[in-house]
Structure 1
Amino acid sequence: MELPFKRIFISGAAGVIGQEMVRRLASLDSDIQVLAGDLKPRPADFPARFQYRQGDLNALTEQEIGIFAPDLFIHLAATFERSTETYGFWEENFRHNVQLSHHLMTVQKDLPSLRRVVFASSYLIYDPALYNFAEVPAQATSLRETDPILPRNLTGMAKLAHEIELRFLDTFRAQQFSTVTPRIYRGYGRNGRDITSRWVRMLLAGEEITVYGAESFFDYLYAADTAEGLLRLAAAESITGIINLGTGRARRVSDVVDVLRQNFPEMRANYVASDIPFEASQADMTRWTSQIDWLPPTTLEVAIPEIIAFERARQDTLAAAETAAAKGPGHILISSISAKVPLTEAVKNAAKRFNPSIKIIGGDLNPQALAFHYTDGQWVMPLASDDNLPAIIRQCQEMGIAHIIPTRDGELAFWARHRATLAAAGIAVLVSDSAAVQRCLDKIEFATFGRLSGLPVIPTSLRLDALATDREPLAANTAFVVKERYGAGSLSLGLNLPEAAALTHSYELQEPIFQPFIQGQEISVDGYVDRTGHVHGLIARTRDLVVRGESQITTTIEVPELLARLTPTIEKLGLYGPFVLQAMLTDDDGLHIIECNCRFGGASTLGIAAGVDSFFWFLQEAAGADLSQFPFRPATRPLRQIRAAADVVMPM
């Protein structure tokens, strides 16, 4: 089969159909590029050349998909419940069926590259009165594309809603891209959630299976055939609108049981009567066969042994997989959370996009920490000391914590010192290594490193008279800045002081350092350094109103030449993760670096809004992703952030 597309976006690519499809695409033209998206982690056998985006695709942006520029979109992502839908499915169906389908077309409908959309719909759209019966049916009903529709559950409703949305878009975008909507019948396959796979797993474990409605008919469609059929349908660009995709040959449930018995002669099956109507449905494939010279070939007799072989082969690794699954998705601890509500909300947003099951745990020494009210769990933590490390690791494991985000300068050295030990325990910490942390916390060491590395760092000294050198003499009227050597530079800051006043102010500090005062515009630079040591995203912002060292009003500025100049400077620091660089810009285009905080800053939430997606990138890297698949996309216009107190009323 030849596919007239080279850049293919597949939603739900880690599902049972998606995995079969990716395998097929990998065996086709080597020029084909795939962007595969799913909530689940990247399957181990996905080709390295294919991009993978783990996370909630509701967060996919127009800029992100625009960079990939797909010419074919195959929409497989969906959530469903095989049995009767539960009350809790109400929200899940809306977010991951209704909202997701709408969102994915919203961000793609105006892409010039897009030529074809294939939406995997379902036969659940048809009126169940056509194929549900109170008595045992003699044969299956062939459902035609023109038959009456009445979705029988929320999943069917969501599929129909998006069918109508695509029909709407077709009235405006038919000249740009074509859409086709295959209504897929009873799917099953390797590693599936369907009843056939569940029965195979039960029989391999020596368990008895329970059979309901043995006389019902279903049009069983093997996932490998579904993937093949969808790709053939994508290639047939003249086919648009609704089309059935099944075998057209329904089989009874009892046939599935018989094939299983052929492979498990000693199997035990308990046939249970039920008041659920008998189903007898199959696809009318007339439209399909009139335009595509292929029909799904795989029978139950061929497919079920393949499923059994697959399940047997993975039994060696199943225990490890179940252990990992039992641990959950890996929750996030925000240490020293205090009153850092904006930071907490930013972490929650990133976690929701990555995996909605992740919980945010707030950690603090203070049992009354304000931000505890914004987390899923609270931990009154012991002091971050070496003696307490075993207890901290043990508690993290008990709480299912796999990610730690430190937020206070005073704890960075502890987390950096034990980063490798925590990693060995399955806990990723968002912190630089010890040398980089020390380099940033100690302003003297930072200035010395900068001078030796040829960086434009403001001269810094423990003695006022030592600032003047033969190479850099100070002007007679030089004013000075006096601050503490360690910690936040804004605390006890003496700014624009003459020499005598600077000396006097220094006596009030524990370990004062001196810098020449430079008149200019102070800026902050928010960025993220990936695990390879490269700057992955960088934005600059002015500090318009500063209170106790933090920007209460801050505005992004477009200074691409400055950021390009800063990038190699930052990479020399050996950082990992988020950082905030403070610098001064002078009227003569001079750049003077003041200091660097190797953590997420108080106003760095503006950096996230402007494209430096620090916490989401951290989660991706902790999961093993290459951030080249999540490129930095800066905001297209300046943004201003105003940090103001807000009253929040919440139910008790």
Structure 2
Amino acid sequence: MPQPLVLPFKRIFISGGAGVIGQEMVRLLAALPADIDVLVGDLKPRPANFPARFQYRQGDLNFLTEQEIGVFAPEVFIHLAATFERSTETYGFWEENFQHNVRLSHHLMTVQKDLPSLRRVVFASSYLIYDPELYNFAEVPAQPRSLRETDPILPRNLTGMAKLAHEIELRFLQTYRGAQFSTAIPRIYRGYGRNGRDITSRWVRMLLAGEEITVYGAESFFDYLYAADTAEGLLRLAAAETVSGIINLGTGRARRVADVVAVLKQNFPDLRATYVASDIPFEASQADMNLWRSQIDWLPPTTLEQAIPEIIAFERARLQATAAAKAPGHVLISSVAAKVPLVRAVQAAAQRLHPEMNVIGGDMNPACLAQHFTDDFWQMPATADQNLADIIAQCQARGIGHVIPTRDGELAFWSRHRAALAEAGIAVLVSPPEAVSRCLDKIEFAVFGQEHGLPVIPTALGLDALPAAPGSTGFVVKERHGAGSLSLGLNLPEATALTHAQALQEPVFQPFIQGREISVDAYVDRAGRVHGLVPRTRDIIVHGESQVSTTLTDPALVARLTPLVEKLGLYGPLVLQALLTDDGGLHLIECNCRFGGASTLGIAAGVDSFFWFLQEAAGADLSQYPFRPAAGPLRQVRAAADVVMPAPTPE
């Protein structure tokens, strides 16, 4: 009688954990003691039945950073993530295999190989590595060939090649990191399971739809391994820390394809099947499980007769449930202008969420620069109330489900109509109208700050209305609405300040305070909580924007700023301008309730604004996507770059 599953570690990272094997593994882990922490990463959205206490990272794990996984500090890494096709790989699989098999496996070990927490790596390899001459036959085989770990290898397709490549990489790492973590490489046999893409699940779906199935190679043998057994086997192997290297994982009891059809016939008495002759060789393989038996006190128990009814029940339940969610809507960046770094940041976030999500640039100017970098361009009408119906209709026609406004002058429009847009299935990254108003109006911002105990710099319509400011040597004059950098007069004597004000449309006055100016990139979630915040210095300023900016690693300052930002009632990304004085004072200048020109540095430092917005729009709880600040200071230098691209073909 096998012993119950017991894991000697607490923190487990599973790549590809929303797949067939991964979901079975999560079910097993959820039944274990509650002090086990699990982080699952996958391209697919978080499955609805995943335990709330498990962390989930949706997106392309090729973009997982060492800092991000280091915060989780996994003790065990179980690498399931992989892409594959059916028996014959298509021409287009060439690049997909490299990105999501070869490159991904290499990257995931690159960001984890030096983590002091890592004790164990389990890589789900494949029996496809063995030389097919061992188990492929021109004639109907009488019995299956048992493949041993020491048998010759010759991967029969790109997937097998990728598995072998990473096996060799892990062998290399063991030379240098063997004292830090051990590695087990199970070569897994013919998998099938609930919600699978395998032929068994496909046949079940066809039979439930009343269709006829087509059977090739009915006499072939495969070692069918149920996904639930695979998951348990991998966890037991992970727990056996002294077991390392290559080891087979199968049942050791191959069955013919005809056996699968026979079990289906027991569950579908009216089954109709067409048996087709094929020039594809007959396969007859199974795992030699002698090494496994000697190391692990457990063998996969589930037979075809037990598993297939479970798969049928699962597929029936899925048919009765609501249809699977469609790919999320595309992203519109309105007033895209020349905001190329912003476009690239949004594209990176969109691709992490869903590979089919496009980024559309919108602008009234048909010649705007950024259109050359977006997936599509829309020459938009003005963001005016009379155009709302047309804008909604155009968004729906273009498949747009998300809007990111980028210009102060349009924020009020998008905010005012965000409820109507939400009813149309369009999420807008914008704060409530009252919060937008107080950020755009410097008088309103100052009054709000005074009423709520915020350390705002006094602001008035006239010099005589300004209170005395200790240490002030002059005055600041700026426009009341919009970006404060426009027509800014800085540290002006009284007479000069009054003269400068005459050139402005609606001037406001502030005392000039000597100090170090900082910008603060932050993201406020839908519950009004700061989800991430990074202050940065403004080292070189050109036209009011930071040309060179450096993040500040100052936990005390972050703790000081966080409650102040939360009092502003904002949602989404923001840029707070403030001054730090030599006496330890903090003075708030103004707040822009949108993504700033240099806020891409904030993303690099951990304030993942666009990805968090897309996750919230999809209904995710951001507690599953924690803020992971950069370990040290980062500097951003904004410089122009030439980009050469193929020219469009003349029509």
TM-score range, shorter chain: over 0.9
Aligned partner letter, 1:153: N
Q: Which residue of 2 aligns with 1:252?
A: 256
Cα offset, 1:88, TM superposition? 1.4
What pairs with 1:84-103 in structure 2 (closer than 5 Å)?
A: 84-103=88-107
With 8-17 and 232-241 compared, the bigger mean Cα shift is at 232-241
Question: Letter of the aligned partner of 1:265 in structure 2?
Answer: P
Correspondent of 2:228 among 224, 227, 235:
224
- Residue 417 of structure 2 corresponds to 418
- Paired residue for 2:17? 13
CA contact (8 A) 1:467 1:474 kept: no
> What is the aligned counterpart of 1:626 among 621, 624, 630?
621
The letter of the residue matching 2:538 is R
Between the aligned partners of 1:544 and 1:269, the Cα distance in structure 2 is 73
Counterpart of 1:506 (choices 497, 501, 505) is 501
Partner of 1:600: 595
Evaluate the alpha carbon distance shift between residue 408 and residue 163 of structure 1 in structure 2; reply closer, same or farther with a 3 A threshold.
Answer: same
Q: CA deviation at 1:638?
A: 2.7
Q: Is the 8 A contact 2:514 2:581 kept in 1?
A: yes
Decide whether aligned partners of structure 1 residues 154 and 526 sit closer, same or farther in structure 2, where only a CA change above 3 A counts: same
Deviation at 1:507, TM superposition (A): 2.5
Alignment match, 2:401: 402
Using the TM superposition, name which of 69-78 and 335-344 deviates more.
69-78
Question: Structure 1's 124 and 329: CA in aligned 2 closer, same or farther, altered over 3 A?
Answer: farther
Identity of aligned residues (%): 80
Residue 478 of structure 1, CA deviation:
4.9
- Please say if residues 333 and 359 of structure 2, whose CA atoms lie closer than 8 Å, have aligned partners that are also in contact: yes
| TM-score, normalised with respect to structure 2 | 0.95
The CA deviation at 1:474 is 7.7
Per the alignment, residue 489 of structure 2 pairs with 494
1:116 to 97, 113, 120: 120
> What corresponds to 1:60 in structure 2?
64
Which moves more between the two structures, 453-462 or 504-513? 504-513
Contact 1:114 1:176 in 2 (8 A): yes
- Which deviates further from its counterpart, 507-516 or 571-580? 507-516
For residues 236 and 555 of structure 2, the distance between their equivalents in structure 1, rounded to whole angstroms, comes to: 46
Give matches, 1:336-415, under 5 Å. Answer: 336-415=335-414
Corresponding letter in the other structure for 2:584: D
Distance 1:94 1:425 in 2: 39
Give CA-to-partner distance per residue, 1:489-509, whole Å, 9 cap, x none. 111222222223322222222
Match of 1:464 in 2: 463
Query: Hey, what's the Cα distance between the residues in 2 that align with 1:482 and 1:387?
Result: 35
Q: Which moved more, 1:331-340 or 1:98-107?
A: 98-107
1:171-190 → structure 2 map (5 Å cutoff): 171-190=175-194
Q: Which is further off, 106-115 or 554-563?
A: 554-563
- TM-score between the two structures when normalised by the length of structure 1: 0.95
Q: 2:523 aligns with which of 528, 545, 561?
A: 528
Gaps of 5+ in 1: none
State how many pairs are aligned.
643
Match of 2:321, SS state, is helix
Secondary structure class of the residue paired with 1:113: coil
Question: Can you list the C-alpha shifts for 1:135-158, whole angstroms capped at 9, x where unaligned?
Answer: 222221111111000001111011
CA RMSD of aligned residues (A): 1.7
In structure 1, the partner of 2:639 is 644
Q: Secondary structure at the match of 2:343?
A: helix
1:619 positional shift: 2.1
Taking the aligned partners of 2:164 and 2:244, their CA distance within structure 1 comes to 16
**Counterpart AA for 1:15:** G
Asked if 1:203 is matched to 2:207, the reply is yes
Task: Report the alpha carbon displacement of residue 649 of structure 1 after superposing the two structures with TM.
Answer: 0.7
Whether 1:134 aligns to 2:138 is yes
Answering whether residue 299 of structure 2 is matched by residue 295 of structure 1, we say yes
The residue type equivalent to 2:53 in the other structure is R
In 2: Cα distance, 1:89 partner to 1:523 partner: 48
* Residues in 2 aligned to 1:644 and 1:123: alpha-carbon distance in whole angstroms: 50
Deviations along 1:168-214, whole A, 9 cap, x unmatched? Answer: 12222222221111111110111111111111111111112222222
What is the CA–CA distance in structure 2 between the aligned matches of 1:400 and 1:207, rounded to whole Å?
33
Counterpart residue type for residue 493 of structure 2: P
SS in 2 for 1:596: strand
Does 2:28 align with 1:24? yes
In structure 2, what is the Cα distance between the partners aligned to 1:82 and 1:282?
Answer: 19
Deviates most, 623-632 or 539-548:
623-632
One of 470, 476, 481 as aligned partner of 1:481: 476
Contact 1:58 1:353 in 2 (8 A): no
Secondary structure class of the residue paired with 2:422: helix
Name the CA distance, whole Å, in 2 between partners of 1:474 and 1:292.
75
Distance change >3 Å, CA 288–CA 558, structure 1 → 2: closer
Bigger Cα displacement from structure 2, 420-429 vs 368-377? 420-429
Cα offsets for 1:108-142 (capped at 9, x unmatched): 22222222211111000001111111222222111
Opposite residue 421 of structure 2, the aligned amino acid is L
Q: Is the 8 A contact 2:67 2:630 kept in 1?
A: no
State the alpha-carbon separation in 2 of the partners of residues 479 and 234 from structure 1: 68
Cross-structure match for 1:431: 430
Structure 1 pair 57/278, CA: closer, same or farther in 2 (3 Å)? same
For 2:320, give the aligned amino acid.
Answer: D
2:237 aligned residue: 233
CA contact (8 A) 2:55 2:625 kept: no
Distance 2:295 2:640 in 1: 63
In the alignment, which residue of structure 2 is the partner of 1:162? 166
Letter in 2 for 1:231: L
Distance (Å, rounded) in 2 between the aligned partners of 1:291 and 1:413: 66
1:47 to 45, 51, 55: 51
Q: Could you report, residue by residue, the CA deviation over 1:238-296 in whole angstroms, capped at 9, with x for unpaired residues?
A: 22111111111111112211221222222222222222111111111111122223221
Q: Which residue of 2 aligns with 1:542?
A: 537
Distance in 2, Cα, partners of 1:25 & 1:478: 64
Unaligned ranges ≥5, structure 2: none
In structure 1, the residue matched to 2:272 is 268
Secondary structure of 1:314's aligned partner = helix
The reply to whether residue 582 of structure 1 matches residue 577 of structure 2 is yes
**Mean alpha-carbon deviation: is it higher for 18-27 or for 170-179?**
170-179
> Could you say what secondary structure the match of 2:332 adopts?
strand
- For 1:639 and 1:101, the matched residues in 2 are separated by 27
Deviations 1:33-65 (A, max 9, x none): 211111111111111111111111122222222
* Structure-1 separation of matches of 2:294 and 2:252: 14
Deviations 1:447-474 (A, max 9, x none): 0001111111111111221114xxx368
Whole-Å separation in 2 of the counterparts to 1:415 and 1:356: 27
Which of 609, 612, 617 matches 2:607? 612
* Cα distance in 2, alignment partners of residues 227 and 221 from structure 1: 10
CA positional deviation for 1:551: 1.6
Return the letter of the residue paired with 1:269: A
1:312 corresponds, among 275, 292, 316, to 316
